[in-house]
Structure 1
Amino acid sequence: MARPRLIALLAALLVLLPSYANACALCAAFDGVVFPHFHLEVDSDQLQSIAVEWEFSPSFTQVLRTFVQEADDSDQTRQKLLDAFEADIVPYNYLTRIELDGEPVDVKSAVTDSHFEFEGDVASYHFTIGIYQELGSRMHMELEFFDPRRYLSFFLRPEGMSYQTPPSVGVQHNLHDYPHTLLLSLGSAVEPQQATTASIAPPIKESQSWYQNSMDHFSKILQQASQAISNSLKAVKNDGSVLALVTLLAFSFGYGLLHAAGPGHGKSLVASYFLAGKQNYIKAAFMSLLIGIVHVFSAFIFTIILLFVLDALLTSALQQPTKVMTQISGTMIVAIAIYLAISKFRSHRLHKKHASMPGYQEHHQLNSLEATHCSCRGCSAPASKGSDAMLVFSAGMVPCPGTITIFLFSLSMGLYLVGFIAAIVMSLGMGLVIFGAAALSIVARNTLSSSYHRLSRVVEYASVVFIGVLGGLLLLMT
């Protein structure tokens, strides 16, 4: 009995882990990472300005590069990107908050010389904030970069700050703690703080949980896999060898496995769905494959939209379709929960009606099984094809930035067929992981049904409730 109980416990943990309720949260965070750099310009006893540079992640850079490469006039396109980007951040005060001695700075009216730069695999957005504030003996400054819509995530580092001050002006800061908000003191009464170079490794925070450490490590692996696919695409384009193509497909399959193994990607939804009703392994395999295919090709369609909608706002073009699809996905998940609840209610009524019929006891005593194993309509309520289809689309329709990046890279190099084949292989890898979640749920349900009839009923109804809560969370998050 130990083994069935262990399997049931693993299935329950898979369903109940709260991190799995977010649709591809890891990928969204991976794409929106920004590393700010800022330079303090101090002249005599006055803080003149702060020159800011936002260094974007490689995946976001690839999106920007694709827009630039597709345009006939590079300068014109860069200006369009700048106008579109600033249309989204200027209303939010350039996503920047500055306080000097407790008084807020009007960043929106103080910004000058804003522009984009591309260097290597990294894009950066630059702007200068005019301060012109007397230092006195000690000035206290707070600086924070924050996106209230959480599209971009800013990470402050010691190597991100530089300054040019007279010998009489000292500077102290808290960047060694890798904070969300920079706390800085500068002036003649401030003792100089030893400068930090980029070679110093970040300290490991004692407060960081094992889960956060695991996600950081997983994110690095995912980035390495994405870079390996990019390198393989370059090799296919330059060499055209069969070995390069096979290597690309192998990395694509591995990326699909890693991609689906992270938080999200419908594993909780699929596990709950198969716990809630009577299913089989063939159906689980087929639906898992379909979820992977829908997920990958929704990213492909989304990429095509990105390539041809140049006049739309850049950030809106990236985020609004995803928001709409997330809302649709959440609505469909809630609809699935309602359908399953109604089906189970009807099944319960039919079961009670069937139990009152003559011959019911003899029928169920033939195999000494509980009523849930009866194949009659009143004792089993299999899910309909409509609910199966809604599950597939709701779990797979929201594209991930990581997948979009790979598509952008392949399309920008003109490798249309290769990118299409890699997408199919990637969907196979994703489907395999999702099938694992579904199969584990089927094993757990069968184990509970045969040994713990009442507990099986509780798990079934709890799974329906969980599906409804999952859909509601998606709607609330958008």
Structure 2
Amino acid sequence: MNRALALTGLIVAVILAALWMSGGLVGVERWATEQQRTAQNLMAGALRALRAGEPGAVASLLGLCFAYGVAHAVGPGHGKVVIGSYGFGSSVPMMRLAGLSLAASLAQAGTAIVLVAGGIAILDLGRETLTDLSEGAMVRLSTAMVAAVGLWLGWRGLRMLRAEARAHRHDHHHHDGCGCGHAHGPTPAQVAQTRSLRDGLLVVGSIALRPCTGALFLLILTWRMGIFGIGMAGTVAMGLGTALVTVAVAGLAVWARRGSLSLVPRTGPMAQAARWLPGTMQLGAGALIAAVSLAVLLR
């Protein structure tokens, strides 16, 4: 039963990835963009109601911000690619990946707050300049960092495969063990466990560097209205809405990973192939992230 459940995750992930690659999700992305536009208009209305002192306006605004965050995350975006590929390629536990997804979404909200507060208060930038900065230089920087995540994952996958090849040769030459009692380089399992702070910082940083335009819109408006604190709260609500989707993607990635690993038999001649699978998956995931982000940078 567990194997069937794990395989279901892999099938769902493969179907979604194929639809995304072939442009089959364009309708969903268009719908998400329309929902964002609608939510943005409603947010402007809620801000007017707030200024007029209408009861319930703050709760209404925060609810709209959360909905905007969900719609924003459903649309096209690099956050899902990073979290999904990292979760599929690395042996990262589900709860840690969910934590990274939440941290990345909240850090993205934090970037928007710092950008607007710093840009207006310190540099006296206008709305157009701030938006151009966010959509231009910061997008390129974020995409370059996403490419770095991909290259790092791919390099680590290669290291795992090399370590496996060394271990395989060693096993072949020394069936009884070498007798020296020393470890001959890291085992694939040890390399797979290298889920360091560096991983987390790269994943969170690559997503956080690209603030959401809806958050900038809200923050600039609330700054001008003298209610920046409410704008900050709304931006955090957006981050939580985004996290709802990225945590779901994280869950699917880990589920699909388990499905892939369950395909390889534990015994028999094919059991040896299981040793090569983690490194291959990590290399493949890294190559996908790097290819997608480099294509965006070169466009």
TM-score of Structure 1 vs Structure 2, range by shorter chain = 0.7 to 0.9
Q: Which amino acid aligns with 2:39?
A: A
CA distance 1:471–1:239, change in 2 (3 Å): same
Residue in structure 2 matched with residue 287 of structure 1 by the alignment? 100
Task: Give distance in 1, aligned partners of 2:24 and 2:257.
Answer: 30
CA drift at 1:18: 5.0
| Equivalent in 423, 432, 457 of residue 235 of structure 2 | 423
Task: Give distance in 2, aligned partners of 1:273 and 1:315.
Answer: 34
Task: Give distance in 2, aligned partners of 1:226 and 1:335.
Answer: 33
Q: Which amino acid aligns with 1:462?
A: G
Residue in structure 1 matched with residue 260 of structure 2 by the alignment? 448
Deviation per CA, 1:272-305: give whole Å up to 9, x if none. Answer: 1111110112111211111111222222233335
| Equivalent in 51, 64, 79 of residue 237 of structure 1 | 51
CA distance 1:344–1:211, change in 2 (3 Å): closer
CA distance 1:218–1:393, change in 2 (3 Å): same
CA distance 1:249–1:402, change in 2 (3 Å): closer
Residue in structure 2 matched with residue 268 of structure 1 by the alignment? 81
1:66-465 matches, within 5 Å, as 213-239=27-53, 241=55, 243-304=56-117, 307=120, 309=123, 318-355=131-168, 356=170, 376-377=189-190, 380-452=192-264, 453=274, 458-465=280-287
Task: Give distance in 2, aligned partners of 1:12 and 1:399.
Answer: 29
Residue in structure 2 matched with residue 78 of structure 1 by the alignment? none
CA contact (8 A) 2:116 2:130 kept: no
Q: Which amino acid aligns with 1:4?
A: A
Task: Give distance in 2, aligned partners of 1:7 and 1:473.
Answer: 28
Task: Give distance in 2, aligned partners of 1:429 and 1:211.
Answer: 20
Deviation per CA, 1:343-402: give whole Å up to 9, x if none. Answer: 2232233334445359x999xxxxxxxxxxx99415x34332112211111122112322
CA contact (8 A) 2:85 2:285 kept: yes
| Equivalent in 6, 9, 23 of residue 7 of structure 1 | 9
Task: Give distance in 1, aligned partners of 2:165 and 2:45.
Answer: 62
CA distance 1:253–1:318, change in 2 (3 Å): closer
CA drift at 1:443: 0.8
Aligned pairs, how many?
274
CA distance 1:322–1:212, change in 2 (3 Å): closer
Task: Give distance in 2, aligned partners of 1:383 and 1:417.
Answer: 36
Q: Which amino acid aligns with 1:473?
A: A
TM-score (normalizing by structure 2): 0.78
RMSD of aligned C-alpha atoms?
A: 3.2
Q: Which amino acid aligns with 1:434?
A: T
Q: Highest CA radius of gyration, 1 or 2?
A: 1
Task: Give distance in 2, aligned partners of 1:329 and 1:389.
Answer: 13
Deviation per CA, 1:72-130: give whole Å up to 9, x if none. Answer: xxxxxxxxxxxxxxxxxxxxxxxxxxxxxxxxxxxxxxxxxxxxxxxxxxxxxxxxxxx
Q: Which amino acid aligns with 1:8?
A: L
Residue in structure 2 matched with residue 155 of structure 1 by the alignment? none
Which structure has the highest helix share of the two? 2
Residue in structure 2 matched with residue 115 of structure 1 by the alignment? none
Q: Which moved more, 1:299-308 or 1:288-297?
A: 299-308
Question: Unpaired segments of 5 or more residues in structure 1?
Answer: 21-208, 363-373
CA contact (8 A) 2:149 2:202 kept: yes
| Equivalent in 271, 289, 293 of residue 471 of structure 1 | 293
Task: Give distance in 1, aligned partners of 2:240 and 2:33.
Answer: 21
Task: Give distance in 1, aligned partners of 2:255 and 2:25.
Answer: 27
Question: Unpaired segments of 5 or more residues in structure 2?
Answer: 177-186, 265-273
CA distance 1:219–1:393, change in 2 (3 Å): same
CA contact (8 A) 1:343 1:381 kept: no
CA contact (8 A) 2:29 2:76 kept: no
Q: Which amino acid aligns with 1:429?
A: G
Q: Which amino acid aligns with 2:42?
A: A
Task: Give distance in 2, aligned partners of 1:327 and 1:251.
Answer: 29
Residue in structure 2 matched with residue 197 of structure 1 by the alignment? none
Q: Percent identity?
A: 21
CA contact (8 A) 1:350 1:377 kept: no
Task: Give distance in 2, aligned partners of 1:247 and 1:216.
Answer: 25
TM-score (normalizing by structure 1): 0.51
| Helix, strand or coil at the partner of 1:296 | helix
Task: Give distance in 2, aligned partners of 1:236 and 1:345.
Answer: 55
CA contact (8 A) 1:222 1:255 kept: yes
CA drift at 1:417: 1.5
Task: Give distance in 2, aligned partners of 1:285 and 1:382.
Answer: 18
CA drift at 1:321: 4.8
Higher RCO, 1 or 2 (CA under 8 Å, sep at least 6)? 2
Task: Give distance in 2, aligned partners of 1:395 and 1:17.
Answer: 23
CA distance 1:305–1:253, change in 2 (3 Å): same
| Helix, strand or coil at the partner of 2:190 | coil
Q: Which amino acid aligns with 1:10?
A: V
Task: Give distance in 2, aligned partners of 1:361 and 1:232.
Answer: 72
CA drift at 1:442: 0.4
